[in-house]
Amino acid sequence: MAQTCLWIVCLPILAFVIQVFFGKRLPRQGDWVSLAAIGFSLLLAIPIFGRLLSEGHVFDTLSFSWLSLPQTAGAFQIIIGVLVNNFTAIMLMMVTLCAGLIHLFSVGYMHGEDRYHLFFAYISLFSAAMLGLVVSDNLLTFFIFWELMGLCSYLLIGFYYKKPEAIAASLKAFMTTRIGDVGLFLGLCGLYAVFGTSQFESIYAAVASGAAESKTLLGMPALTFIGFMVLMGAIGKSAQFPLHVWLPDAMEGPTPVSALIHAATMVAAGVFLLIRMFPVLEASHTVLVYVAYVGAVTAFLAALLAIVQVDIKKVLAYSTISQLGYMVMGVGVGAFAAAFLHLITHACFKACLFLCSGSVIHSVHTQDMREMGGLKSKMPWTFACMLIATLSISGLPFFSGFVSKDRVLAGALAYGMEHTGHWLIPLLGFAAAGITAFYMFRLIYMTFFGSARDEHKHHHAHEQPIVMVLPLVVLATLSFAVWFSGPTGVDAFDQVFSVHWYEHAVAGVEKEMALPAPVEHHEGIHHVAHSLALIFSLVLAGAGIFFSSLVYLKGWISPVKLKSFFSPIHTLLWNKYYFDHLYINIIIQKGLLGWNRFLAAFDDWVIDRILVDGWSRIVLFIKSIVGLFDDLVIDRMLVDGSAGMTAMGGWAVRRIQTGKVQHYLIASLAALGFGLFYLIGMR
């Protein structure tokens, strides 16, 4: 089974390579190559998922040494490989299905774009990276595919590279996720420092055996440090607060990209990471609370932001952030199974929502809801699918959203009741649920109901071809609860033939993770929490829908008056809590670039001019002194001086040469005389 996983990953990579090098020259610019690759992966994934449904448990590993450094003191080795367990099987199924459908959809959507083959190349690479991440059995390859996905999101967001906003958004996305990735990388280093390996099995075993309790990293207990770093990674990738700013801008990319990357798969990778590392987070006791808070806060604030958005894709982007917040909160409160289920269901209905919005945009050629309206009659299929997905996301019975969201909220409520100190978490959770219903139905009413605000666009609106509608229908059908638990989604009613495959899968994984058995105290709390959560979520969802229809369908309360009433809050929401302003203008423009300019100037002036060229000035100074000394003392006094003396001497002697022969004779005779006199004297 592990070999098939390898093939599932390698097929899209192969497609990528083919597309990059030969895409342009292939018939239909090679979109069928990518489709075939992801289709085969889907076909390979189905038996694995089938095995999970039939036997209730799937497990297979395959690992090999990727990098080994023989060292006498102890071999440092990096072992990587493939791990297939229940969650992997489910994820494989979800990813390949969603990716396949979105490939199909983008064949229609991207028709006629230039660099069409490159789009499919990048999408194949992305699918390969996501699948690689899902199947990897250690944090290192997890991290490698994690960053490859970051690369693909960078390339795909910046696909329309001629638009300055698109490339700015792509850079923003890559940098923000990169900050998170660095956190995850430090966590990975921590793992190697503490456990010497990053393989999940050995980590689960080591954590269970309590081997890492004593060790500390940077003064913090090791597991807490690793937990925080992993959380940082998840915040970066899953666009949680405060690193959420890149997801709304990522909507600049083509809609299938938003659907695939920024709804279904990539952003979910952060949550999948938290689930994979759950034993570590749990063992560190302190990190989980922070995870819960991050999730809850993100869910609530993002939901608020979604209310004021006018761009259809931005609304969905913020709703994604909010739903991710739910999942992170689920993991934080310990209900990681519920979080995982929500991840799966969210992938389906959010992909459906995005694709519907894609088809709407494709037909009316605008993303601004204020120019839409009354498309119900024009685009019946799209409307139907979008309505189903909206109902699912709002958490109404009979729909998958209700099943998973209810469990997450129940977990949060149970957590809140147990640790009363953290009552804020369930409160934010439930509030977000209500607001979700409100803004989702706001979106439905503004786009499909009411009268057309822009006649020209309304006239042109038309239903999309089958190749785009089919994926919508498939995804919409997946949004029903029947697949995940019972038909109604309420366990009490569905006792008769409710589907229990998910519970078995979760049990299998818990066994693997060797989690410490949850402290079974007052079992009643869970039951009470569950039923209470059921009631609260239904009430809130209904209120949300009712209130939204009052404002947008019936128009009894005009949005304008609402806006004026809450104007301070509205401006706050409109400016996205000034996060963007804080990041872009203050931290980056003034802080970072200012500091860089200062440092470059410092480097240029202080170190280069003063410290280095300064030496040349000093040397020049010394040279001038030495030059002066040399010129004055040696040259003038000694050399010229002696020359002068010789000249004087010469001048004096010159007078002797009178030119008269006789004088010379006298002189020589005088010399002869002295010589003789001296000789005679001597003797």
Enumerate binding residues for other proteins (CB under 8 A).
Answer: 66-73, 76, 140, 143-148, 151, 154, 158, 161-162, 164, 167-168, 171, 174-175, 178-179, 182, 185-186, 188-190, 192-193, 217-218, 592-593, 595-597, 599-601, 603, 607-608, 611-612, 654-655, 657-662, 665-666, 669, 680
Minimum distance of other proteins from residue 179's CB (angstroms): 6
193 versus 514: smaller Cβ distance to other proteins? 193
Minimum distance of other proteins from residue 282's CB (angstroms): 23
Quote the Cα angle for 22-28-30, to 5°: 35
219 versus 421: smaller Cβ distance to other proteins? 219
Minimum distance of other proteins from residue 21's CB (angstroms): 11
199 versus 319: smaller Cβ distance to other proteins? 199
Minimum distance of other proteins from residue 535's CB (angstroms): 47
Q: How far is CA 488 from CA 175, 200, 329, 400, 482, in A?
A: 43, 36, 25, 9, 7
Which among 432, 406, 273 is positioned nearest to 338, based on CA atoms?
406
22 versus 595: smaller Cβ distance to other proteins? 595
Cα separation, 539 vs 443, in Å, equals 20
54 versus 658: smaller Cβ distance to other proteins? 658
Minimum distance of other proteins from residue 320's CB (angstroms): 24
Which residues are CB-neighbours of 634 under 8 A, at least 6 positions away? none
Characterise 365 by phi-psi region: left (phi > 0), alpha (psi -120 to 50), beta (else): left
Minimum distance of other proteins from residue 470's CB (angstroms): 33
114 versus 523: smaller Cβ distance to other proteins? 114
195 versus 441: smaller Cβ distance to other proteins? 195
Cα separation, 259 vs 126, in Å, equals 13
Cβ–Cβ < 8 Å for 410, 342: no
Q: What six digits make up the tokens of 590?
A: 């003034």
Cα separation, 187 vs 17, in Å, equals 32
Q: What six digits make up the tokens of 555?
A: 């128009």
Minimum distance of other proteins from residue 135's CB (angstroms): 16
199 versus 447: smaller Cβ distance to other proteins? 199
137 versus 406: smaller Cβ distance to other proteins? 137
118 versus 341: smaller Cβ distance to other proteins? 118
Minimum distance of other proteins from residue 5's CB (angstroms): 18
86 versus 170: smaller Cβ distance to other proteins? 170
144 versus 553: smaller Cβ distance to other proteins? 144
Count CB atoms within 10 A of the CB of residue 262: 29
Cβ–Cβ < 8 Å for 464, 365: no
Q: What six digits make up the tokens of 171?
A: 């850079």
22 versus 565: smaller Cβ distance to other proteins? 22
Minimum distance of other proteins from residue 307's CB (angstroms): 33
Minimum distance of other proteins from residue 246's CB (angstroms): 13
Q: What six digits make up the tokens of 304?
A: 């608020």
456 versus 655: smaller Cβ distance to other proteins? 655
Minimum distance of other proteins from residue 581's CB (angstroms): 19
Minimum distance of other proteins from residue 253's CB (angstroms): 13
Q: What six digits make up the tokens of 260?
A: 């695939």
- Residue 74 burial (10 A CB sphere; 0-12, 13-18, 19+): exposed
228 versus 552: smaller Cβ distance to other proteins? 228
Cα separation, 442 vs 310, in Å, equals 10
Q: What six digits make up the tokens of 108?
A: 């229609």
Cβ–Cβ < 8 Å for 199, 62: no
Consecutive H or E run containing 4: helix 2-22
Q: How far is CA 92 from CA 5, 335, 437, 481, in A?
A: 9, 21, 30, 20
- DSSP of 454-505: -HHHHHH--PPPHHHHHHHHHHHHHTBGGGTS-SSS-TTGGGTT---HHHHH
Minimum distance of other proteins from residue 170's CB (angstroms): 8
Minimum distance of other proteins from residue 77's CB (angstroms): 10
Strand pairing partners for 82? 62, 136
Cα separation, 553 vs 236, in Å, equals 37
Which residues are CB-neighbours of 633 under 8 A, at least 6 positions away? none
Minimum distance of other proteins from residue 185's CB (angstroms): 7
Which residues are CB-neighbours of 270 under 8 A, at least 6 positions away? 180, 233, 234, 235, 236, 237, 238, 240, 324, 328
Minimum distance of other proteins from residue 142's CB (angstroms): 10
Strand pairing partners for 67? 78
Count CB atoms within 10 A of the CB of residue 41: 29
Cβ–Cβ < 8 Å for 139, 233: no
**Residue 371 DSSP class:** G
Cα separation, 411 vs 337, in Å, equals 10
Q: Rounded to 5, what percent of the chain is helix, strand, coil?
A: 75, 5, 20
197 versus 323: smaller Cβ distance to other proteins? 197
Count CB atoms within 10 A of the CB of residue 243: 22
